[in-house]
């Protein structure tokens, strides 16, 4: 029993990619053809993550190719999966998005996840430095008047 646990821990990747159902990802998969080796990229919507965080953890990616839906299931800790690149994060109400298989049009849309910190950072960049300095001076002079 101890040997299998050690073996399982050895198979885990040090830093697996962090993504959720609903995210659009690019999966870089190593493919061996004869003696040549190449990397193939599969980009699509993650419709499911299964089996927790262990060695058996999988995720399913779906895309539309030439009008036909194509799904691939990958092992999270597979040595053939070089990296998983998150293209777009979205907000979904459920974890398994199997309804996407039948959905058309508006039902297929997922909401974009808003990163509050990034929005605040952009707002700070939008304000010119002179205005920020002037506002700071006004705040300081108002405090002096109160004292």
Class assignment of domain 2-113? mainly beta
Q: Higher pLDDT residue, 133 or 59?
A: 59
How many other CB atoms are there within 10 angstroms of residue 20's CB atom? Answer: 16
Question: Residues 110, 95: contact at Cβ < 8 Å?
Answer: no
- Segment 37-65 shows an average pLDDT of 88
**Is this structure's pTM higher than 0.75?**
no
pLDDT in tens, 75-84: 888 888 888 8
Predicted confidence (pLDDT) at residue 40 exceeds the cutoff of 70: yes
How many other CB atoms are there within 10 angstroms of residue 28's CB atom? Answer: 15
In the chain, domain spans: 2-113, 114-147
76 class by beta-carbon count within 10 Å (0-12 exposed, 13-18 middle, 19+ buried)? buried
Residue 44 DSSP symbol: E
Rounded-to-integer distance, Cα 147 and Cα 143, Å: 6
| The predicted structure's pLDDT at residue 35 | 92
| The predicted structure's pLDDT at residue 112 | 64
Supply the mean pLDDT for the chain. Answer: 78
């Amino acid at each position: 029993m101890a040997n299998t646990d050690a073996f399982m821990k050895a198979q885990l990747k040090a830093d697996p990619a962090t993504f959720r159902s609903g995210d659009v990802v690019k999966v870089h998969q190593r493919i061996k053809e004869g003696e040549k080796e190449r990397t193939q990229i599969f980009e699509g919507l993650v419709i499911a993550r299964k089996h927790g965080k262990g060695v058996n953890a999988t995720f399913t990616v779906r895309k539309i190719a030439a009008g036909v839906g194509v799904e691939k299931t990958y092992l999270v800790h597979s040595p053939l999966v070089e990296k998983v690149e998150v293209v777009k994060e979205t907000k979904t109400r459920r974890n398994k998005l199997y309804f996407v298989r039948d959905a058309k049009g508006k039902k297929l849309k997922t909401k974009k996840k808003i990163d509050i910190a990034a929005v605040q950072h952009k707002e700070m960049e939008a304000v010119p430095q002179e205005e920020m300095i002037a506002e700071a001076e006004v705040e300081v002079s108002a405090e002096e008047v109160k004292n």
